Amino acid sequence: MRIEKISAVTLSVASMRDSVRFYRDVLGMEIIYGGEDGCFSSLRAKDVKDPILNLEQGNPVTQWGRMIFYVADVDGFWAYLRGRGFHPESPRDASWGERYFHMPDPDGHELSFARPI
């Protein structure tokens, strides 16, 4: 027996509106269920079937780990987020062969944006 794939990750969020707007409008994900006024929403990266990011209205928990998103251009995405008024950490090269940076989402969940070097 083995795991076949990761279907979804679910994060608890304090404000569905703020979280949906962040993941949809800032990160460019598409809503496939729910939305700003719902208590549960599902989003995914455009042109990708799996995995899905679920947002569930509740009490957010930080310090749980991090979610990693691959992007085409780490430095370009960092500049894009800075231009949108966010303050991500500076990009750096990792010993495991990725260029990446971290920043929190609206609820403090740690996100990484990365690309293999």
pTM across the whole model: 0.86
Q: What are phi and psi of 16, to 5 degrees?
A: -60, -40
pLDDT digits (tens, 9 = 90+) for 19-74: 999 999 999 999 999 999 999 999 999 888 878 999 999 888 877 878 999 999 99
For residue 60, the 8-state DSSP code is -
Whether the Cβ atoms of residue 78 and residue 88 lie closer than 8 Å to each other:
yes
How many angstroms separate the CA atoms of 27 and 99, rounded?
Answer: 18
* Rounded (to 5) percent helix, strand, coil in the chain: 20, 35, 45
How confident is the model over 79-89, as pLDDT tens digits? 999 999 999 99
pLDDT at 3: 62
